[in-house]
Homo-oligomer: A and B are copies of this chain.
Amino acid sequence: MIDYKVGEDMIDPIVLKGFRDSLPNEEIPKRRIMRTLEDQFQNYGFVPIDTPALEYTQVLLGKGGGETDKQIFHFQDNGGREVAMRFDLTVPFARFLALHLAELPLPFKRYHMDKVWRGEKPQKGRFREFIQCDFDIVGVDNAQADFEILSLMDASFKKLGIEKYTFLVAHRGLFNFYLEKLGVKEESVEILRTVDKIKKIGEEEVLKLLTEITHSEEKAQSIIAYITPEEKDSFLTRLDKLVALCGAECESSLRLRKIYALLEATGIAKHFTLDPSITRGLDYYTGIVYETILDELPQIGSVCSGGRYNNLASLYTKELLPGVGSSIGLDRLLAALTELNSPILANSSSVDFIIYYKEEETAKAMQYAKRMREANINTIVYLDPNKKMKAQYEYATKNNIKFALTFNDTCLSVKNLETRETVEYSSIEEVITQCNK
């Protein structure tokens, strides 16, 4: 049993640097987004999992450590174990897969929405605690699985009430194939990471860096040519040009063609752009990679990113586990949806009705509330009938409640708190019938 210390000296009720509370006006829309996404994931047959917030440090960081150490919360627990708070949902998922492989039906499609923690310096809009939402398909490496992740992304953005969004797609395998042709395969990791920065540091700077890496301005120029498509070209024209640069079709280009054919067959191709400058920094991607831009808010960056990886769990098991997955940063998404006035965030109150009453009418008020709640009308009874009416009405305003119910011996009055109109009813059942119309 934890002891509560009460009545000692005051303690300053402060929150840690880089952390924050979530008040109802933020938490209500956040939970609505999460439920919308969850419904959509289930619609595609994805299932939820959870993993602990704390893991062995070595399990999360691998044998290494170094730079990463400073970015995560790690410590020794009371048993002297080196433990760390998870910094993403991908590494725990890899560990989870290795541990439970025998129990999981493959292909395994999971989603996981929860908090992760990073100790990095807090910046504007970036916090040390944030919610990630990941979804992956593991155990199969084909165009169908790649397509299904993209299709789910498309369906999710539609469900969130976003109309204008673009998925920028590229293929790491195709890029590597090109680099091999160019004779700079050895430097591919460095090249990928440099290319990934082009939107931040500009083409000129990238060209300079690539020249240093490849020891050839010509090669650097031709990498720039690869990653800079003609604006007007369609997805397939761009792909044809990349294949021409490579000198031949390869497995990766054929995979992209298959994926695109499925996007067309299901009528969602218009949201997809081939953008060969997308590489995603992380080493483990091997196939398609993608980012998501909200057309009306390009400055906020990608709200959903990911790609295909050959072997996610290789740190923990010798089983080969190919996968494809995406990650949504929920805080960024919430900020974006708020700015876009998304219809799913409209009507941020979850309460429909407030009932006002006098002390001696308490039983009647509670009976009415019970009936309305049973009829799925979200109802508050104002719990402090001795407060002045002004305070009671202000409470309704602060909570964005639309209707107030008052009553006397002969009738019930429903007041629309926005229009100030009042309608009278003879019974609570009549009020409910009217509400459900």
A134: min CB distance to chain B, Å: 14
Q: Are A77 and B381 in contact (CB under 8 A)?
A: no
Bound-complex Cα distance A71 to B4 (A): 13
Q: Are B48 and A28 in contact (CB under 8 A)?
A: yes
Q: Are B284 and A16 in contact (CB under 8 A)?
A: no
Given A24-B47, A144-B381, A378-B43, A13 contacting B317 (CB threshold 8 A): yes
Whether a CB of chain B sits under 8 angstroms from the CB of A270 is no
Bound-complex Cα distance A78 to B70 (A): 7
A308: min CB distance to chain B, Å: 13
Contact string, A368-381, partner B, CB cutoff 8 A, digits 1/0?
A: 00100100101111
Can you list 16 A-B pairs, Cβ within 8 angstroms, ordered by A?
Answer: A3-B66, A6-B283, A6-B284, A6-B315, A8-B62, A8-B63, A9-B63, A23-B100, A28-B48, A45-B351, A45-B378, A53-B85, A54-B73, A75-B75, A144-B381, A262-B363
Bound-complex Cα distance A6 to B363 (A): 66
Bound-complex Cα distance A398 to B107 (A): 11
Q: Are A283 and B4 in contact (CB under 8 A)?
A: yes
Bound-complex Cα distance A350 to B48 (A): 10
Contact string, A17-28, partner B, CB cutoff 8 A, digits 1/0?
A: 101111110011
A233: min CB distance to chain B, Å: 24
With a CB–CB cut-off of 8 A, which chain B residues contact A394? 105
Smallest CB gap from A38: residue in B? B31
The interface stretch among A90-98, A178-186, A236-244 is: A90-98
Q: Are B22 and A50 in contact (CB under 8 A)?
A: yes
Interface size on A, residues (CB 8 A): 133
With a CB–CB cut-off of 8 A, which chain B residues contact A350? 42, 45, 47
Whether a CB of chain B sits under 8 angstroms from the CB of A222 is no
Whether a CB of chain B sits under 8 angstroms from the CB of A425 is no
Q: Which residue of B59, B139, B366 is within 8 Å of A266 (Cβ)?
A: B366
With a CB–CB cut-off of 8 A, which chain B residues contact A66? 3
Bound-complex Cα distance A129 to B75 (A): 17
With a CB–CB cut-off of 8 A, which chain B residues contact A380? 44-45, 109
Q: Which residue of B5, B79, B103, B376 is within 8 Å of A63 (Cβ)?
A: B5
Contact string, A28-57, partner B, CB cutoff 8 A, digits 1/0?
A: 101100010010001111011111111110
With a CB–CB cut-off of 8 A, which chain B residues contact A55? 15-16, 19
Whether a CB of chain B sits under 8 angstroms from the CB of A88 is yes
Whether a CB of chain B sits under 8 angstroms from the CB of A282 is yes
Known: A13-B313, A73-B75, A140-B384. 4 other contacts (CB 8 A): A8-B315, A19-B55, A144-B381, A266-B366
With a CB–CB cut-off of 8 A, which chain B residues contact A44? 373, 378-380
With a CB–CB cut-off of 8 A, which chain B residues contact A68? 2-3
A144: min CB distance to chain B, Å: 5
Whether a CB of chain B sits under 8 angstroms from the CB of A338 is no
- Which residues in chain A, 139-188, are within 8 Å of chain B measured between CB atoms? 139-140, 142-145, 147-148, 151, 155
Whether a CB of chain B sits under 8 angstroms from the CB of A12 is yes
Q: Are B53 and A115 in contact (CB under 8 A)?
A: yes
Whether a CB of chain B sits under 8 angstroms from the CB of A389 is no
Smallest CB gap from A131: residue in B? B50
With a CB–CB cut-off of 8 A, which chain B residues contact A54? 16, 19, 73, 117, 129
With a CB–CB cut-off of 8 A, which chain B residues contact A70? 78
A309: min CB distance to chain B, Å: 9
Smallest CB gap from A129: residue in B? B52
With a CB–CB cut-off of 8 A, which chain B residues contact A384? 107, 139-140, 142, 144
Q: Are A52 and B96 in contact (CB under 8 A)?
A: no
Q: Are B383 and A64 in contact (CB under 8 A)?
A: no
Whether a CB of chain B sits under 8 angstroms from the CB of A347 is no
Whether a CB of chain B sits under 8 angstroms from the CB of A421 is no
Whether a CB of chain B sits under 8 angstroms from the CB of A423 is no
Bound-complex Cα distance A3 to B282 (A): 7
Q: Are A88 and B383 in contact (CB under 8 A)?
A: no
With a CB–CB cut-off of 8 A, which chain B residues contact A262? 362-363, 366
